[in-house]
């Protein structure tokens, strides 16, 4: 038998770390290869880590609640398959030698270890112009993690180290020695909140922490702009209502209005592909695939699974995906693959009765569309007053990538498609 390490796997694109939310095994437990051994939370999804080997768990290195970078050891296992262990012996030896070298270097100079930053930390510090020497690291041997940098940003202590800003500040200090430094203009100073009598303290779940981190990053990095249009969906309501009962009996799932909106948006994205883009620092990436992210709530948790290639699917196919993803989200069965690859987000806020809202962009996408409630309202039609089914569509956009002109054309096209259903989409199949 041989002892092997199981490491934190990479659970998706741009994922650099994960949090052990719950161990599913204990030391001494026998596991088969691919058996789940732990539940892990990332900023994208909850997932189970499978065992890489068949054998007996010998040690749980990482405690529950601990966040580890991809590739870090989480537990050890005594492998039963001797041949398999021998096949990996050379790789394990190289990893062990590298770790011994790192330990040796750390013992020689612990401060040098603290200055080894991951690519994610370096990128975030450069984007926010942060002096990393001011950030306190909570990682192993004081190493600075991405969460440390985000916490530093939220604290309001962010230091701008831009050369021109430094020069201006230096001149100001020389002319007014008693002037106090100002905090970052976008972040409020960190305040200690006191708990009063009768207050209830609610622990922050891993999912809520991930949502908070992503929303803070989106608002801190993306210059949001907003626009809204009114759409007359009277024909769409009549068309859908004429089909819904027969469709449910035939297909076994609901024909929702949301499926029509996703289809219309996917069609418009093909005609205005710049909306289907992401910001990548020194460039804008226009995505070829049209993958629509949708928000699904499960209790106090929010998941954003993806309908892949929505432009290639019929309304029936989109409706099936909506039902399937929503059911699996509420059952806790979404996979990391279900959450990856989104290029544009549509949020069905109308299901809660909302008539107007401003969405926070799903980073790093370029925009998010809020689909509000369909409301019967009196409107002017052919110089007369008529009762029509009206809906507001609200778009939040990244003003680094998009401007009002292209977004206006995009929204007009979505409006045109929806107001001409079933002419634009003669069949749900």
Q: Cα separation of 77 and 253, whole Å?
A: 45
Q: Cα separation of 306 and 334, whole Å?
A: 11
**Crossing angle between the packed helical segments 315-330 and 257-271, to the nearest 10 degrees:** 120
Q: Yes or no: say if 380 and 235 are a contact pair by the CB < 8 Å rule.
A: no
Q: Cα separation of 390 and 388, whole Å?
A: 6
Task: Tell whether the torsion through CA atoms of 152, 156, 157 and 161 is positive or negative.
Answer: positive
Residue 35 among the catalytic residues: no
Contacting residues for 24 by C-beta, under 8 A, at least 6 apart: 36, 37, 38, 39, 48
Task: Extract the runs of DSSP E, i.e. beta strands, from 1-72.
Answer: 2-7, 17-23, 30-31, 36-41, 46-50, 55-60, 67-69
* Closest among 408, 75, 419, 403 to 229, alpha carbons compared: 408
DSSP 3-state assignment of 230? strand
Tokens of residue 112, six digits: 């040098």
Secondary structure letter of residue 301 according to DSSP: E
Q: Cα separation of 419 and 429, whole Å?
A: 19
In the block, tokens 């809204």 appear at 228
Written in H, E and C, the secondary structure of 107-160 is HHCHHHHHCCCCHHHHHHHHHCCCCHHHCCCCCHHHCCCHHHHHHHHHCCCCCC
What residues are paired with 75 via a beta bridge? 6, 60
Dihedrals φ, ψ of 319, to 5°?
Answer: -60, -40
**Which DSSP helix (H) or strand (E) runs through 375?**
strand 375-381
Q: Cα separation of 12 and 148, whole Å?
A: 21
Residue 403 among the catalytic residues: yes
Tokens of residue 208, six digits: 């809520």
Secondary structure letter of residue 190 according to DSSP: P
Tokens of residue 351, six digits: 């299901």
Q: How far is CA 48 from the centre of its chain?
A: 18
* Closest among 43, 187, 179, 70 to 129, alpha carbons compared: 187
Catalytic residue numbers? 399, 403
């Amino acid at each position: 038998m041989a002892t092997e390490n199981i490491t934190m796997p990479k659970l998706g694109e741009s994922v650099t770390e994960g949090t052990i939310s719950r161990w599913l095994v204990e030391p001494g437990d026998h596991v088969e290869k691919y058996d789940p051994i732990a539940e892990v939370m990332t900023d994208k999804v909850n997932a189970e880590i499978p065992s890489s080997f068949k054998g007996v768990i010998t040690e749980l290195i990482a405690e529950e609640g601990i966040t580890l970078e991809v590739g870090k050891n989480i537990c050890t296992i005594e492998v039963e398959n001797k041949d398999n262990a021998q096949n990996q012996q050379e790789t394990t030896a190289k990893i062990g030698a590298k770790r011994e070298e790192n330990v040796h270097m750390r013992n020689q100079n612990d401060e040098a270890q603290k200055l080894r930053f991951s690519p994610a930390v370096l990128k975030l510090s450069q984007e926010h112009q942060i002096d990393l020497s001011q950030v306190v690291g909570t990682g192993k041997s004081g190493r600075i993690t991405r969460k440390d940098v985000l916490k530093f940003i939220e604290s309001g202590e962010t230091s701008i180290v831009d050369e021109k800003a430094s020069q201006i500040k230096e001149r100001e200090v020389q002319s007014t020695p008693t002037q106090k430094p100002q905090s970052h203009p976008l972040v409020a100073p960190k305040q200690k909140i006191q708990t009063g009598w009768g207050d209830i303290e609610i622990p922050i779940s891993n999912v809520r922490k991930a949502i908070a981190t992503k929303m803070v990053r989106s608002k801190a990095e993306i210059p949001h702009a907003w626009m809204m249009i009114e759409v007359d969906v009277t024909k769409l309501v009549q068309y859908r209502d004429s089909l819904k009962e027969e469709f449910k009996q035939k297909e076994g799932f609901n024909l929702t209005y949301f499926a029509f909106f996703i289809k219309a948006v996917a069609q418009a994205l093909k005609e205005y592909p710049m909306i289907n883009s992401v910001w990548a620092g020194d460039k804008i990436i226009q995505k070829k695939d049209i993958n629509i992210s949708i928000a699904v709530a499960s209790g106090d948790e929010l998941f954003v699974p993806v309908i892949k290639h929505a432009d290639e699917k019929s309304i029936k196919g989109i409706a099936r995906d909506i039902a399937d993803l929503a059911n699996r989200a509420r059952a806790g069965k979404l996979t990391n693959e279900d959450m990856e690859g989104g290029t544009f987000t549509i949020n069905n806020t109308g299901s809660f009765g909302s008539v107007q809202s401003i969405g926070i962009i799903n980073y790093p996408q370029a925009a998010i569309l809020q689909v509000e409630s369909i409301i019967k309202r009196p409107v002017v039609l052919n110089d007369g007053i008529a009762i029509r089914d009206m809906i507001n569509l609200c778009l939040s956009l990244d003003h680094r990538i998009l401007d009002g002109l292209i977004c206006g054309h995009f929204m007009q096209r979505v409006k045109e498609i929806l107001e001409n259903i079933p002419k634009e989409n003669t069949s749900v199949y």
